[in-house]
């Protein structure tokens, strides 16, 4: 089959039919770029020093969720895929929590914001 | 103009889901633990600098921000490549895949430059626990990006050779490698915030 013929076909995979349009992908990318710009701008605002960590973490979560939901299609695909990924994230957070808890009980410096 | 639709074959599995995609998600779930452990280790050690420069002294936030933006945009070009093959547009697929690989290479080039600068400023793998945990974490991430670039270039080669048939498994292959690429991007979102932007001891 020639390439010109192929390019005229519309491939329909039932599992991919619900994927967003290229325009939607571009819109998501614009939002991600704006959130990144806000992150960097906030880093230099001394008035927000006390709130810097929670704001940065919240913005990172927004970006993480948007890439996962739209670019990785977790919003549109089977929930089974989401469960696999979320399980990994929860286990990673458990490792983080357990290690930090052990570290704090030994009187180490705070891993977040100075120490 | 022919506009007939080519339907990709259904996967007959006990779950009704594509096993290769399920395996990719299981792999990405395990990768969460891998990078989660490395990030945790970094957070434990970054404030324990007995010798050499501290994170506060050495990080160049504007420079890393540009690198982060480049990697973020590579996720856009990757989904546009997937959208192209779903339309059966092989030329578009190759253009977007090459754009993604180029952005990935730009990111890796930036990381090599950053590492070189850090070494010149006195931060090496063995300088301090901060140096060790930083280079291991970002180095492993860079290795993942490099593997992703090689897979993207392999896809371009397969497309050129006519081995990415959108009516069969072509779109699925692009989607699987796309998932890996987006994961690498997602990990960098966390690294950029937690490692570079969250303040440390001055």
How confident is residue B4, by pLDDT bands cut at 50, 70 and 90?
A: very low
The answer to whether position B140 is within a domain reads: yes
Spatial separation of the C-alpha atoms in residues B117 and B60, rounded to whole Å: 10
Domain count for chain B:
1
Q: pLDDT (tens digit, 9 = 90+) per residue, A62-105?
A: 999 999 999 999 999 889 999 999 999 999 999 999 988 888 77
The answer to whether position B88 is within a domain reads: yes
Query: Which among A4, A10, A71, A88 has a CA at the least distance from the CA of B74?
Result: A71
Q: pLDDT (tens digit, 9 = 90+) per residue, B131-163?
A: 999 999 999 999 999 999 999 999 999 999 988
Q: pLDDT (tens digit, 9 = 90+) per residue, B159-176?
A: 999 888 766 688 899 999
Chain A 54-93, CB below 8 Å of chain B: which residues?
Answer: 56-57, 59-60, 63-64, 67-68, 70-73, 78, 80-81, 84-85, 87-89, 91-93
Query: Which among B138, B129, B134 has a CA at the least distance from the CA of B48?
Result: B129
Residue-range domain boundaries for chain A = 3-77, 78-115
Backbone dihedral region for residue B169 (phi beyond 0: left; psi -120 to 50: alpha; all else: beta): alpha
| pLDDT the model gives residue B180 | 97
Question: What SS3 class is residue A12?
Answer: strand
| pLDDT the model gives residue A28 | 96
Chain B residues touching A88 at Cβ < 8 A: 28-33
The answer to whether position B160 is within a domain reads: yes
A12 forms bridges with which residues in the sheet?
Answer: B7
CATH number of the domain where residue B160 is located: 1.20.120.80
Residue A57's Cβ-side half-sphere holds a number of Cα atoms within 13 Å equal to 8
How confident is residue A46, by pLDDT bands cut at 50, 70 and 90?
A: confident
Query: Is the ipTM beyond the 0.90 threshold?
Result: no
The answer to whether position B52 is within a domain reads: no
Q: Are B26 and A84 in contact (CB under 8 A)?
A: yes
Domain extent at residue B112: 66-197
Q: pLDDT (tens digit, 9 = 90+) per residue, B34-56?
A: 999 999 999 988 887 778 888 88
| pLDDT the model gives residue B38 | 96
Q: Nearest CA to CA, how far is B28 from chain A (Å)?
A: 7
* Residue B76 CA to its chain's centroid (Å): 12
Spatial separation of the C-alpha atoms in residues A59 and A62, rounded to whole Å: 5
Question: Is pLDDT of B102 > 90?
Answer: yes
Question: Is pLDDT of A21 > 50?
Answer: yes
């Amino acid at each position: 089959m020639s390439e010109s013929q192929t390019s005229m076909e519309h491939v329909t995979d039932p599992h991919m039919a619900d994927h967003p349009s290229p325009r939607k992908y571009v819109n998501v990318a614009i939002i991600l770029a704006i959130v990144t710009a806000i992150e960097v701008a906030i880093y230099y605002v001394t008035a927000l020093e006390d709130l810097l960590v929670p704001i940065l973490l919240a913005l990172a979560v927004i970006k993480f969720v948007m890439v996962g939901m739209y670019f990785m299609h977790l919003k549109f695909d089977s929930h089974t895929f989401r469960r696999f990924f979320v399980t990994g994230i929860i286990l990673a957070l458990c490792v983080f929590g357990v290690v930090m808890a052990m570290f704090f009980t030994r009187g180490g410096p705070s891993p977040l914001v100075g120490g | 103009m022919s506009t007939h639709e080519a339907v990709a074959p259904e996967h007959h599995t006990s779950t009704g889901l594509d096993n290769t995609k399920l395996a990719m998600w299981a792999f990405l779930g395990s990768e969460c633990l891998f990078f989660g452990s490395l990030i945790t280790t970094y957070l434990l050690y970054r404030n324990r600098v007995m010798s050499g420069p501290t994170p506060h002294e050495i990080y160049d936030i504007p420079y890393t921000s540009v690198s982060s933006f480049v990697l973020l945009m590579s996720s856009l070009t990757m989904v546009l490549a997937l959208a192209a093959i779903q339309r059966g547009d092989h030329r578009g697929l190759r253009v977007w895949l090459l754009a993604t690989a180029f952005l990935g290479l730009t990111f890796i080039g930036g990381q090599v430059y950053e590492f070189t600068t850090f070494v010149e400023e006195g931060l090496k793998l063995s300088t301090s626990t901060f140096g060790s945990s930083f280079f291991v974490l970002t180095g492993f991430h860079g290795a993942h990006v490099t593997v992703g670039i090689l897979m993207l270039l392999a896809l371009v080669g397969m497309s050129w050779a006519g081995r990415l048939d959108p009516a069969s498994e072509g779109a699925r292959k692009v989607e699987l490698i796309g998932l890996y690429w987006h994961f690498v991007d997602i990990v960098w979102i966390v690294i950029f915030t937690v490692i570079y932007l969250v303040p440390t001891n001055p």
